[in-house]
Amino acid sequence: MTNDELPISLSASDVAGPIRMRRNRRHDWSRRLVQENRLSVNDLIWPIFVRDGDNQSEAIASMPGVFRYSVDQAVKQVQRAARLGIPAVALFPYTDPALRDETGSEALNSNNLICKACRAVKAVVQDVGIITDVALDPYTSHGHDGLLEGDEIVNDASVEMLVRQALNQAAAGADVIAPSDMMDGRVGAIRHGLDQNGYQHVQIMAYSAKYASAFYGPFRDAVGSSGTLKGDKRTYQMDPANSDEALREAELDIAEGADMLMVKPGMPYLDIARRLKDTFQMPTYAYQVSGEFAMIEAAAANGWIDREKAILESLLAFKRAGCDGILTYFAAEVAELIGQ
Ligand code: PBG
């Protein structure tokens, strides 16, 4: 048996039929072979909410499946993260309203919830990084990230508070300081403060491009600032209309000593993540924020989308946009799904 009879042509001009993009998609093995981006457990950062008390896990109505944990329970969740291979967690406090004041002074208390949580976690888990948020909103009676004078969020006095807050967290064992306040000059001031006080090794993940977004609603419920917030954050967080401005913010943060950049929210700002990655080649992260989480959960609860597929697709989108990792409330569940 020979194949002498098969029609072939040696003329280059008529070899190519229509280009068939579907050939590579025909088989599962082939799809796997040509896949450009992959989500791995190493890409996940898990935000965890902490409250006071003992043996408590309190549901958050607008974030189904997410809880505020007392420190002992939060430690268990971080142990779970360690077992799953999740590289880092981000801790956020729900501060007792009685402890909130004009200046957010509880942020500087070396025995506040975040510090207690950092110490408790460090005592038993060593191989998960702890990221702590630097901003005053969980501690202020007005719910703003900085100090309020009249109706202005004053910059430089706020930065001074934020440096002290960062030092307080570093002393409690935080590995990564994540300023989310959007005050000018805070990354440099925090870097300087850390270096001066023996915390040269503590990293800074800058919320470089943090937008004044409508997608933070459920988070503000979770940390109890939705009721307290007076006005909005548009004089410090970025205008969702802007993109070049994000590059300037990131450039400043890099110059001031940021080790990693973050974009927030995530999905509506994938273009920003891509621009930052292409421009600076820095470790770049996105925060799939509470409102994005809630949208997926709400649609899934209505049976309108396939929950697991939507979650995985949403996270893969961040990889495609150039992100090195994603802060996501789905982290533990996804780590279980995709394994190590
Ligand atoms: C605090 C902070 C916010 C979030 C993270 N850190 C809220 C805000 O800026 O009002 C939002 C995270 C989320 O929505 O999941 N500065």
Residue 297, CA atoms < 13 Å, CB-side half-sphere: 18
Which CATH code is given to the segment(s) 38-339? Answer: 3.20.20.70
Whether ligand 1 lies within 6 angstroms of the CB of 137 is answered as yes
Whether ligand 1 lies within 6 angstroms of the CB of 205 is answered as no
Cα–Cα distance between 87 and 173 in angstroms, integer? 16
Question: Does the pLDDT of residue 340 top 60, yes or no?
Answer: no
In sequence order, which ranges of 176-233 are alpha helices (DSSP H)? 186-196, 217-222
Cα–Cα distance between 228 and 143 in angstroms, integer? 5
Question: How much is the pLDDT for 5?
Answer: 83
89, 95, 114, 216, best to mutate for ligand 1 pocket (most atoms within 8 Å of CB) = 216
Question: How much is the pLDDT for 23?
Answer: 96
pLDDT band at residue 288 under the 50/70/90 scheme:
very high
Question: Does the pLDDT of residue 291 top 90, yes or no?
Answer: yes
51-90 pLDDT tens trace: 999 999 999 999 999 999 999 999 999 999 999 999 999 9
Residue at 164: amino acid letter: R
Residues 112 and 106 sit within 8 Å (Cβ to Cβ):
yes
230-260 pLDDT tens trace: 889 999 999 999 999 999 999 999 999 999 9
Contacts 24+ apart (CB under 8 A), 251-257: 251/280, 252/187, 253/187, 253/206, 253/208, 254/280, 254/282, 255/188, 256/185, 256/187, 256/188, 256/191, 257/187, 257/188, 257/191, 257/204
Measured from the Cα of 210, ligand 1's closest atom is 9
Question: How much is the pLDDT for 15?
Answer: 63
Cα–Cα distance between 191 and 167 in angstroms, integer? 10
Q: What DSSP state is assigned to residue 12?
A: G
- Cα 216 to ligand 1 centroid, rounded to whole Å: 6
Question: Does the pLDDT of residue 215 top 70, yes or no?
Answer: yes
Positions marked catalytic: 210, 264
- Cα 220 to ligand 1 centroid, rounded to whole Å: 7
Question: How much is the pLDDT for 339?
Answer: 87
Cα–Cα distance between 282 and 72 in angstroms, integer? 35
165, 228, 289, best to mutate for ligand 1 pocket (most atoms within 8 Å of CB) = 289
Question: Does the pLDDT of residue 188 top 60, yes or no?
Answer: yes
Cα–Cα distance between 161 and 104 in angstroms, integer? 9
Residues 225 and 69 sit within 8 Å (Cβ to Cβ):
no
Question: Does the pLDDT of residue 32 top 90, yes or no?
Answer: yes
pLDDT above 70: percentage of residues in the chain: 98
Helix (H) or strand (E) holding 132: strand 129-134
- Cα 138 to ligand 1 centroid, rounded to whole Å: 10
Helix (H) or strand (E) holding 206: strand 203-210
For 200-216, what is the mean pLDDT? Answer: 97
CB environment 112-151: b (16+ within 10 A), e (fewer): bbbbbbbebbbeebeebbbbbbbbbbbbbbbbbbbbbeee
131-160 pLDDT tens trace: 999 999 999 999 999 999 999 999 999 999
Question: How much is the pLDDT for 60?
Answer: 94
**DSSP characters over 260-306:** EEEEESSGGGHHHHHHHHHHH---EEEE--HHHHHHHHHHHHTTSS-
Determine if residue 327 is left, alpha or beta; phi over 0 gives left, psi from -120 to 50 gives alpha, anything else beta: beta
Question: Does the pLDDT of residue 14 top 80, yes or no?
Answer: no
Q: What DSSP state is assigned to residue 198?
A: T
Question: How much is the pLDDT for 27?
Answer: 98
For 219-230, what is the mean pLDDT? Answer: 85
Question: How much is the pLDDT for 13?
Answer: 64
Question: How much is the pLDDT for 12?
Answer: 63
Whether ligand 1 lies within 6 angstroms of the CB of 292 is answered as no
Question: How much is the pLDDT for 1?
Answer: 61
User: Which two three-digit tokens encode residue 74?
Assistant: 């939060």
Q: What is the pTM of this model?
A: 0.95
How confident is the prediction for the chain on average, in pLDDT?
96
Question: Does the pLDDT of residue 270 top 90, yes or no?
Answer: yes
State yes or no: cis peptide before 138, omega within 30 of 0: no
Question: How much is the pLDDT for 4?
Answer: 80
Whether ligand 1 lies within 6 angstroms of the CB of 133 is answered as yes
Question: Does the pLDDT of residue 323 top 90, yes or no?
Answer: yes
Lowest mean pLDDT among 17-21, 35-39, 114-118, 265-269: 17-21
134, 144, 219, best to mutate for ligand 1 pocket (most atoms within 8 Å of CB) = 219
